[in-house]
Amino acid sequence: MARKSKKMKRTVDEELLDSIFTLEREWKQIKSIVEKSIEPTADGYYRENISQVKYMFLLREARRRKISAIRYNK
């Protein structure tokens, strides 16, 4: 039973890290678009802030779970 639990935890941790990397790319892409815009819209700022908040939330969750990207090299 403990083996299944460890395997399940590792799978969830890897999915969390994948989500973190995906959200980081999304946030930085939106941020870049907003910064390069001549007249950024309120919607652009909103999307940037939402992406940043999601990314920061997942980082805090990873810290709480004590997981590191270094441990999960593929």
Task: Tell me the pLDDT band of 68, cut-offs 50, 70 and 90.
Answer: confident
On whether residue 16 sits in a domain, the answer given is no
pLDDT at 71: 63
pTM of the model: 0.81
At 4-61, the pLDDT tens digits run 788 888 899 999 999 999 999 999 999 999 999 999 899 999 999 999 999 999 999 9
- Indicate the number of domains in the chain: 1
pLDDT at 6: 84
pLDDT at 72: 59
Range of the domain at 49: 28-74
Instruction: With CA atoms as reference, report the closest residue to 28 among 39, 40, 36.
Output: 36
On whether residue 6 sits in a domain, the answer given is no
On whether residue 23 sits in a domain, the answer given is no
Write a three-state SS string for the chain: CHHHHHHHHHHHHHHHHHHHHHHHHHHHHHHHHHHHCCCCCHHHHHHHHHHHHHHHHHHHHHHHCCCCHHHHCC
On whether residue 38 sits in a domain, the answer given is yes
On whether residue 67 sits in a domain, the answer given is yes
